[in-house]
Amino acid sequence: MDLPALARRVLLAAFSAGVVLAAGLPARAADSAILNIIGYSDSFRYFAFEQYGVQDGSGFPYSDIFLVDLARDSFVGGSPFRARIDQDGARLNTARSTALLRAGDALGEYGIGSPARVLAFVGDGALDTDGQSLRFGMPGFDLNPPEGEYELALELFSAPTTLDCVEWFGEEPKGFALTLSHDGVTREIHRDTRLPGSRNCAVTYRIHAVALPLWSRDMNDAVAILAVHSWGFEGADRRFIAVPLGDV
């Protein structure tokens, strides 16, 4: 596996942190995945991230690694790469290491080795936000404040799907539209027409983070990470999707 050294260091550091965090997590019913932004390719065209956690119901640890072509807004390289350890008492870092091994060739092939800068992040303990909008700016230099003002906003609505969500959970699944506003201009980034099966019976969405390549100051290279909450075995589970912000 020819995994770029930078991506390997980022992931190994995240694995260590994840083990410590997971050990201190209280037991909960629903399964809320944790986000790990892996990085970009040197061209900034390809973006990789991981979601990981412990599955509700079974208690099995899992990790999913996604490799996204931002120009086409589609998966590449055989992504997503998934690992779940179906064994009682299995460790979370085992699932994450297995997913990394499965993704390694693709991460190397697409040159994932450029770090990402997090422009904005809504942590699980953040107050005074419902996750439906997020204001942020381009990072300033030195101690200067952020430059410019951008705002992401979500619109939620019922959307068709092939799943029997109403029969199973008593409500219609939700799709979303995402807009980006800057300098008095609002641009629609994405609008669902129907739900992909991968989102299951989505009940709501929240803006979780905005990432940009470390060496870029072009919002066309940025990615919004949305949390997707969908009905699972023991409640509303959280997973993540990446939405390119570029005008492509």
104 shares its domain with 149? no
Q: What is the pLDDT of residue 15?
A: 45
HEC per residue, 45-73: CEEEEEEEEECCCCCCEEEEEEEEECCCC
174 shares its domain with 65? no
Domain around 62: 5-114
Q: Assess whether pLDDT exceeds 90 at residue 25.
A: no
Domain ends where: 97, 114, 131?
114
104 shares its domain with 131? no
Share of the chain above pLDDT 90, in %: 74
Confidence of residue 5 (pLDDT cuts 50, 70, 90): low
60 shares its domain with 123? no
Domain ends where: 114, 138, 159?
114
Q: What is the pLDDT of residue 8?
A: 54
142 shares its domain with 225? yes
142 shares its domain with 98? no
124 shares its domain with 230? yes
Which tokens hold the place of 102? 């499965």
How far from each other are the two terminal CA atoms of the chain, in whole angstroms? 32
The pTM assigned to this predicted structure is: 0.86
220 shares its domain with 128? yes
61 shares its domain with 126? no
Domain ends where: 114, 144, 179?
114
Between helices 92-109 and 5-23, what is the axis angle to 10°?
160
164 shares its domain with 63? no
The residue length of the chain stands at 248
91 shares its domain with 170? no
Q: Assess whether pLDDT exceeds 80 at residue 121.
A: yes
Tally the domains of the chain. Answer: 2
237 shares its domain with 226? yes
Q: Are 168 and 201 in contact (CB under 8 A)?
A: yes
The model's pLDDT over 214-225, given as tens digits with 9 standing for 90+, comes to: 999 999 999 999
